[in-house]
Amino acid sequence: MRKKKTLNGMMLLLVVFAIIAINWDGIKTYLGSGGMTGKASWNEMPEEINASHYVYFCPEDNCARELIEWIDLAQKKIHCAFYDVDLDEVKEALIKKKNEGVDVEVVTDSDNKEVWDGEEFVKEDNRSALMHNKFCVIDNQLVWTGSFNPTHRGNEKNNNNAVVYQSQLLAKNYEEEFQELWKGEFGKGKPGNNPSIIIDGKLIENYFCPEDFCANKVIKTIREAQKNIYFMTFSFTHDGIGDELVKADNRGVKIEGVFEKSQNNKYTEKKKLDEAGIKTRWDGNKANMHNKVFIIDNKTVITGSFNPTRNGDERNDENILIIHDPDVASKFLKEFNQVWNEAAGSS
């Protein structure tokens, strides 16, 4: 009897190890998302299926035109938080929907308040810190976010990205953040209720700065890198994130990054990375390389409005998505390669 129990125990262990081996990638993703640290497990995360997503890169994709097409589809509500808007066609599209009876509300930064000519559906952040988001929530079903400000320069000259998810779960997160901003709760707020959600089987992490400590989330994701990290950053001055890239390089992770050349100052992390032997370049765009993107192991993308800076982490209102999806990562990697190659003659 004891021998039979021993064999059964061994068989059980073999089955457990087999399950772990088969599902190791999913388990690592789960652990990396915070399972074992008090957060919801994979099975406890909210899940949504058939939630379409789209990725755009400006200027080649004409992000303003794509945004207007989504705005035109709105039936009930459009809530947007944009640091800057100076494209008349975007403003006119929002005003048109407002006149049609759609609930249109916009939060912007006071640096750009003159654009709106006192429109009653626009509120401003008057702090010295920035309301730096670039997102819209449409009909509680769709989220537009990324690095793109709807401006002439942002649409026609700068390198930018925008991602769109037709997801009620993600829309709920962004709508809750918008309501905080609309109430004037700038530079603070409650942590998000559902920071980790499953959309069509892919883990999406969603955070808002400063309340969700975005820099820590970026550092944690970099720490999990095993093969490669590619980044495109407009302003990169955060010592902790720079240090984590050096640590990743020391453990053999391949790293390449493009910095916006107008941000060449004593605070930039480029010098630290260069001294560590990490390959970096100043961008080659005559305007600005305005992305705030990390691509990790060809399967994870960090994007949003968050520049890796202390102000971005601690004072500004920002948002990030950490998208664990190889398909999305492949699109961003293609954009990185284009930006990297254009930067070859500038560094």
DSSP 271-308: HHHHHTT-EEEE---SS-B--EEEEETTTEEEEES--S
For 55-82, what is the mean pLDDT? 98
> Smallest Cα–Cα separation from 169: which of 53, 295, 256, 23?
53
Least confident of 12-16, 28-32, 90-94: 28-32
In a domain, 21, yes or no: no
- The pLDDT score that the predictor gives to residue 37 is 35
- Residue 38's pLDDT band (cuts 50, 70, 90): very low
Domain extent at residue 233: 50-342
Beta carbons of 74 and 99 less than 8 angstroms apart: no
Q: Please report, for the domain that includes residue 174, its CATH number.
A: 3.30.870.10
Beta carbons of 222 and 248 less than 8 angstroms apart: yes
How many residues are given for the chain? Answer: 347
Bridge partners, 57 (sequence order) = 161
- The pLDDT score that the predictor gives to residue 346 is 62
pLDDT over 60 (residue 96): yes
- Quick one: what percent of the chain has pLDDT higher than 90? 79
- The pLDDT score that the predictor gives to residue 231 is 98
pLDDT over 50 (residue 136): yes
Cα distance between residue 229 and residue 296, in whole Å: 5
- Residue 130's pLDDT band (cuts 50, 70, 90): very high
Q: What is the pLDDT of residues 201-244, one digit of tens each?
A: 999 999 999 999 999 999 999 999 999 999 999 999 999 999 99
Cis peptide before 210 (omega within 30 of 0): yes
In a domain, 57, yes or no: yes
pLDDT over 70 (residue 15): no
In a domain, 56, yes or no: yes
Q: Interhelix angle for 88-99 vs 63-72, to 10°? A: 0
In a domain, 7, yes or no: no
In a domain, 59, yes or no: yes
- The pLDDT score that the predictor gives to residue 16 is 41
- The pLDDT score that the predictor gives to residue 41 is 63
pLDDT over 50 (residue 33): no
pLDDT over 50 (residue 26): no
In a domain, 77, yes or no: yes
In a domain, 189, yes or no: yes
> Where does residue 306 fall: left (phi above 0), alpha (psi -120 to 50 degrees), or beta otherwise?
beta
- Residue 73's pLDDT band (cuts 50, 70, 90): very high
- The pLDDT score that the predictor gives to residue 260 is 97
In a domain, 4, yes or no: no
Beta carbons of 50 and 200 less than 8 angstroms apart: yes
Instruction: Please name the residue ranges forming H helices in the chain.
Output: 2-22, 24-32, 63-72, 88-99, 152-156, 168-182, 214-223, 239-250, 270-275, 310-314, 326-342
**How many domains is the chain built from?**
1
Cα distance between residue 153 and residue 51, in whole Å: 31
pLDDT over 50 (residue 200): yes
pLDDT over 60 (residue 159): yes
Beta carbons of 142 and 171 less than 8 angstroms apart: yes
Give the phi and the psi of residue 227 in degrees, each rounded to 5.
Answer: -120, -55
pLDDT over 80 (residue 10): no
- The pLDDT score that the predictor gives to residue 171 is 97
pLDDT over 80 (residue 281): yes
pTM of the predicted protein model: 0.87
> Smallest Cα–Cα separation from 108: which of 279, 317, 308?
317
